[in-house]
Chains A and B, each alone.
Chain A
Amino acid sequence: MGKTEESQIYDSAKQTSPALEELQEIIRYRDLIIQVVRRDILTRYKRSFLGVAWTMLNPLGTMIVLTIVFSQAFGTGFSYAAYVLSGLIAWNFFQQTTNAAISHLVWGGTLLKRIYVPRTVFAFSALGTGLFNLLLSLVPLLLVMVITSVPIQATILFLPIPILFLAIFSLGVGLLVSALAVFYTDIAEMYQIILTAWMYLTPIIYPEDILPEQFRVLIAIFNPMYHLVRLFRAPLYYGEIPSLEELLISGLIASVTLIIGWIIFTRRSDEFAYRI
């Protein structure tokens, strides 16, 4: 919208690909994403005493509860605390990002009726806030690893790749669900139930090897988060570099999800102003 593009012309009759158009627009509005992320982080904690520390305390608290309840049940051969916390961090990121994408679009609804902004801005800023929280919660994780003497290895430098894949996947799911939620309010509620079921179908609070083999195979086929959480844990908890095959599977799942989510979202986004 800057003055620099002197005679920019908007023509509603021009047939372009909405998916590509949205991509151009979101790049132009990248500063808006930063501002909305800033707003979310600032306002979330502005009036609380411990402020941003809650981002770290929250998963830590859940971990302590789960460790007290489950650590004996799953055997003592491994550090349950670090295992469950690493899984929780990955899962929380996914859950928060997709949920925020939905509620931001509804929040932005009143705004979207008055002013043009690229519609994917809200999903992107949800992702930005999620990434900020994820990075912060790595601090207590590393602490827990030190305390429970789980070695922190150089493979941790590989962590940006699993985070990237998780981010791509979460953005894709966030776009998909929020596009549906605009048309059917029930979707947002239904999604909460799906999330709960989904979490228990992903080895987060229980170790993968307690699953019967045929069940584990089924989960590996139908649950993308199984691969993404595994990929996230490998360099952190296990000190392993994932195999090329694992990387390819996760990368493919994430990109395909984003492409599908992007296309569906941008196709429907013209109708948002009629619906929100």
Chain B
Amino acid sequence: MNLHTVSDLTKTKQVSTAQTQDDVVRLDDVTVRYRAPSERIGTFKEYMIRRLQGRVQHQDFLALDEVNINVKKGEVFGIIGKNGAGKSTLLKLVARVMKPTSGRVWVKGSVAPLLEFGAGFHPELTGRENVYLNGALLGFTQRQMKEKFDRIVDFAELWDFIEAPLRTYSSGMVARLGFAIATDVDPDILIVDEVLSVGDEAFQQKSLERMLSFQQQGISILIVSHNMALIQQMCDRVAWIDHGCLEMVETPAETIQAYREN
């Protein structure tokens, strides 16, 4: 687990300026505007009445404001910022969950999101059934999942419980299974939203190692985290987002320092 030396960093920087065609993710002037009615209109009737009276007033909330970011192939890109700054919205754009209100999101290759643990699992189904269901959610066919199944259970170390319903699992076990599935997808871009803090210490270590092996394979990783040590250790570049605006994109040390001083 090597910390990047200064020469490493300058090398990546030279590469990044030289080859822009190596981008795997590009956000051009991306704006996401949520339109929230300024008063809560809960019912259809109320809405129609107000609509007819022309009294529907909206308050715009800018989750992202003209953000420009590009992520290169093989790069580990961190995103930091306060809660509600727009970090998760940014990840949603890359994961195709959401389209920007304006601007352009361009992604090359397959994207695998690391799901928050529990999302997409069903407690009544067995571990095995959940692996197949989760794999299908990630866009894999039955046949592809058969091939992956043994590897996934090996990594999660759950062979003894794989035929038991998921409700009998501890939360750490669920997290392990989730991580094992999501990281076995062999994506071009991996999205990690604050999920590495689950599981016991040994599993966290193992997860970190897998992320680093991804990095070596040239897979790009987007990480959102409040864990500055993790960001510092893993990322090549870090973006700081505040109130939907991109404040800076620099080396981990520089961005974290600026963020802390703020």
Residues of A participating in the B interface, judged by any CB pair closer than 8 Å? 1-3, 5, 7-13, 28-29, 31-32, 34-36, 38-39, 42-43, 46-47, 110-117, 184-187, 190, 270, 273-274
- When C-beta atoms are compared, the residue in chain B nearest to A10 turns out to be B107
Question: 0/1 per residue, B39-65, Cβ < 8 Å to A?
Answer: 000111101000000000000000000
Question: 0/1 per residue, B60-104, Cβ < 8 Å to A?
Answer: 000000000000000000000000000000001101111110001
Interface-located stretch among B120-128, B154-162, B239-247, B248-256: B120-128
The answer to whether A39 and B129 touch across the interface, beta carbons within 8 angstroms, is yes
- When C-beta atoms are compared, the residue in chain B nearest to A29 turns out to be B139
Residues of B participating in the A interface, judged by any CB pair closer than 8 Å? 34-35, 42-45, 47, 92-93, 95-100, 104-113, 115-116, 119-120, 122, 124-125, 129, 132-133, 136-142, 144, 165, 185-187, 193
The interface residues of chain A lying within 8 Å CB-to-CB of B47 are 184
- Which of B104, B140, B142 is A1 in contact with, Cβ under 8 Å? B140
A71 to chain B, nearest CB (A): 40
Which 9 A-B pairs rank lowest in CB-CB distance, beginning with the nearest?
Answer: A1-B139, A35-B136, A13-B104, A32-B136, A184-B44, A116-B96, A12-B105, A273-B98, A186-B44
The interface residues of chain A lying within 8 Å CB-to-CB of B109 are 7-8
- When C-beta atoms are compared, the residue in chain A nearest to B141 turns out to be A31
The answer to whether A31 and B140 touch across the interface, beta carbons within 8 angstroms, is yes
- Which of A2, A11, A39, A42 is B144 in contact with, Cβ under 8 Å? A2
Residue from A39, A187, A190 having most chain B Cβ neighbours under 10 A: A39
- When C-beta atoms are compared, the residue in chain A nearest to B91 turns out to be A114
The answer to whether A7 and B139 touch across the interface, beta carbons within 8 angstroms, is no
- When C-beta atoms are compared, the residue in chain B nearest to A43 turns out to be B124
The interface residues of chain B lying within 8 Å CB-to-CB of A36 are 133, 136
Q: A35-B136, A273-B97, A274-B98 are known contacts. Are A1 and B185 too (CB-CB below 8 A)?
A: yes
Bound complex: CA A169 to CA B120 (Å): 29
- Which of B44, B108, B115, B165 is A115 in contact with, Cβ under 8 Å? B115
The interface residues of chain A lying within 8 Å CB-to-CB of B136 are 29, 31-32, 34-36
- When C-beta atoms are compared, the residue in chain A nearest to B104 turns out to be A13
The interface residues of chain A lying within 8 Å CB-to-CB of B139 are 1-2, 28-29, 32, 117
The interface residues of chain A lying within 8 Å CB-to-CB of B116 are 114
The answer to whether A1 and B110 touch across the interface, beta carbons within 8 angstroms, is yes
- When C-beta atoms are compared, the residue in chain B nearest to A6 turns out to be B109
Number of A-B contacts (CB under 8 A): 125
The answer to whether A34 and B142 touch across the interface, beta carbons within 8 angstroms, is yes
Q: A42-B125, A273-B92 are known contacts. Are A110 and B119 too (CB-CB below 8 A)?
A: yes
Q: A29-B139, A114-B116 are known contacts. Are A11 and B106 too (CB-CB below 8 A)?
A: yes
Bound complex: CA A10 to CA B92 (Å): 13
Q: List 30 A-B contacts (CB under 8 A).
A: A2-B139, A2-B140, A3-B110, A5-B110, A7-B108, A7-B109, A9-B108, A11-B106, A12-B99, A12-B100, A12-B104, A13-B104, A31-B136, A32-B137, A39-B125, A39-B129, A39-B133, A42-B125, A46-B165, A112-B97, A113-B97, A115-B95, A115-B97, A115-B113, A115-B115, A115-B120, A115-B137, A115-B138, A116-B96, A117-B139
A273 to chain B, nearest CB (A): 4
- When C-beta atoms are compared, the residue in chain A nearest to B45 turns out to be A186
A177 to chain B, nearest CB (A): 13
Q: A32-B136, A273-B92 are known contacts. Are A43 and B125 too (CB-CB below 8 A)?
A: yes
B189 to chain A, nearest CB (A): 10
Bound complex: CA A115 to CA B187 (Å): 14
The interface residues of chain B lying within 8 Å CB-to-CB of A5 are 110
The answer to whether A114 and B97 touch across the interface, beta carbons within 8 angstroms, is yes
The interface residues of chain B lying within 8 Å CB-to-CB of A47 are 124
Bound complex: CA A32 to CA B141 (Å): 8
- When C-beta atoms are compared, the residue in chain B nearest to A271 turns out to be B99
The interface residues of chain A lying within 8 Å CB-to-CB of B98 are 270, 273-274
The interface residues of chain A lying within 8 Å CB-to-CB of B44 are 184, 186-187, 190
Known contacts A3-B186, A12-B93, A274-B98; 16 further A-B pairs (Cβ under 8 A): A1-B111, A1-B140, A2-B141, A9-B108, A10-B106, A11-B105, A12-B99, A13-B104, A34-B142, A35-B137, A38-B129, A110-B119, A114-B97, A186-B44, A273-B92, A273-B98
